[in-house]
Amino acid sequence: MFILLVISEIINVLIIKNLLYILLLLSSFSGLAQFSPQQQNEIDRLDTVLDNPQSHDTSIVQAYVALSEILYLSNLDTIIPLCTKAQEIAEIALAKNPPSQIQIALKTSLSLALNNIGYILHNQGNTSLALEYHVKGLNIQEQIGDKRGLVSSYNNFGYIHRGLDNMVLAIEYYEKSFKISEEIGDKEGMANYYNNIGVIYRAQGNTSLALEYYTKSIDTYGELGDKVNLAIAYLNVGLIHSKQKKTLLALKFINKSREINEKIGYKKGMAQSYTKIAEIRLLQGLLVGAEGALALATKSLALSKEVGYPNNIKDASGLLSKIYSRQGNFQKALEMRNIEIEMRDSLASEENIKAAANQKAKYEYEKQK
């Protein structure tokens, strides 16, 4: 009975102290294979900060924000709860009017938390609320002169306006971000600018300029050792070459992306690169074998289901339907086709909701402006 009472008391203390953190940690770490040893060491360090009753509010807020930026690789849904927790602690601490140095530290982390929440809200289709969070974050950064924060905020505004099909404003914000990045020597901000401008040129069909900017992003991400974004940049270049039917060049870059993703265990990136290589293998008529279209598309579908990646579930199942059909396995072809249709309809429904939300956000933004 005494043991049960002690356990109950421990659980109550934990619940009072950090229930949100513990639950998120347990749910998020199911995908631990996706974290590099360095990331896992950082997670352990942040865990220690949050578990220490002597940790200062500034350290706790910084830890929650830092955790959100690592755990999103496993589960995007961790960002809003972790950053909301950071926001709550920072606002309570700021209400006590601490010394200016502590205020700056708290406000820097608070603006990051607000921007991270805004980023996820925009991805969820709630663009109006996302803009509110980004504006709050931007106001704080301007108030404390946080130039690195401003780089991130302008980048987010560019991303949102790109989603609203306002490319002029998107480029304007991206260039504001780049100007500050150059001024303070922020290579990460510069690399993000190159990639984002590359995305815009690619969408506009200007492949030569898209390749030019993607190549700059590859050089800078490589210099920084940012493997996740480097893999994305390689994939982007591979996709352009694939559209131009330059098969060997496409495979060269997509395989570079694949190798990086496999090395760091980033399953979403692995799934995407497997699908793209499988598409090329299908065009080449290479259906079977370890590197054949069937094996790669099957691996891609399994990984996409594991990490909950509906876009690639659609692409991989559609590809498998074509492969099975070509092999004469019409039952499996139909099964995969049904999965593709289910994912396509689900994504179309989400896109319609997002489109409606974006139209509303566009109207409200113009009205506020």
- Residue-wise pLDDT for 309-332, tens only, equals 888 999 999 999 999 999 999 999
DSSP-derived secondary structure letter, 355:
H
Residue 358 has pLDDT above 70, yes or no: no
296 contacts 280 by C-beta, under 8 angstroms: no
Which pair of tokens denotes residue 45? Answer: 């360090």
Q: Please report where in the chains the tokens 């991270």 appear, as a residue.
A: 116
- Residue-wise pLDDT for 38-54, tens only, equals 778 888 898 889 888 88
What is the pLDDT at residue 366? 54
- Residue-wise pLDDT for 182-205, tens only, equals 999 999 999 999 999 999 999 889
pLDDT band at residue 256 under the 50/70/90 scheme: very high
203 contacts 166 by C-beta, under 8 angstroms: no
Task: Give one DSSP letter per residue of 21-54, joined into a string.
Answer: HHHHHHHHGGGGGGS-HHHHHHHHHHHHHHH-TT
Residues 6+ apart with CB under 8 A from 136: 111, 114
pLDDT band at residue 37 under the 50/70/90 scheme: confident
Determine the distance from the C-alpha atom of residue 204 to the mean position of all C-alpha atoms in its chain, rounded to a whole number. 23
| CA distance linking residue 19 with residue 69, whole number of Å | 19
Q: Over the chain, what is the mean pLDDT?
A: 84
- Residue-wise pLDDT for 258-292, tens only, equals 999 999 888 999 999 999 999 999 998 888 888 89
Q: Tell me phi and psi for residue 124, to 5 degrees.
A: -85, -5
| CA distance linking residue 248 with residue 241, whole number of Å | 9
pTM listed for this prediction: 0.72
Q: Tell me phi and psi for residue 78, to 5 degrees.
A: -80, -20
| CA distance linking residue 67 with residue 31, whole number of Å | 14
> Per mean pLDDT, which range of 162-166, 212-216, 217-221, 330-334 is the poorest?
162-166
- Residue-wise pLDDT for 62-84, tens only, equals 999 888 888 876 666 788 899 99
Residue 150 has pLDDT above 80, yes or no: yes
Instruction: Specify the higher pLDDT residue, 362 or 86.
Output: 86
Residue 119 has pLDDT above 80, yes or no: yes
- Residue-wise pLDDT for 223-252, tens only, equals 999 999 999 999 999 999 999 989 999 999
| CA distance linking residue 261 with residue 186, whole number of Å | 25
What is the pLDDT at residue 156? 87
Which pair of tokens denotes residue 322? Answer: 């074509």
Which pair of tokens denotes residue 66? Answer: 């830092």
What is the pLDDT at residue 36? 67
Cα-based angle 343, 167, 349 (whole degrees, multiple of 5)? 20
Instruction: Specify the higher pLDDT residue, 138 or 7.
Output: 138
Which pair of tokens denotes residue 202? Answer: 């690619």
- Residue-wise pLDDT for 4-30, tens only, equals 333 333 333 333 344 344 334 433 343
348 contacts 340 by C-beta, under 8 angstroms: no
Q: Provide the residue type at 217 as one letter.
A: S
Residues 6+ apart with CB under 8 A from 83: 64, 65, 68, 112, 113, 114, 116, 117
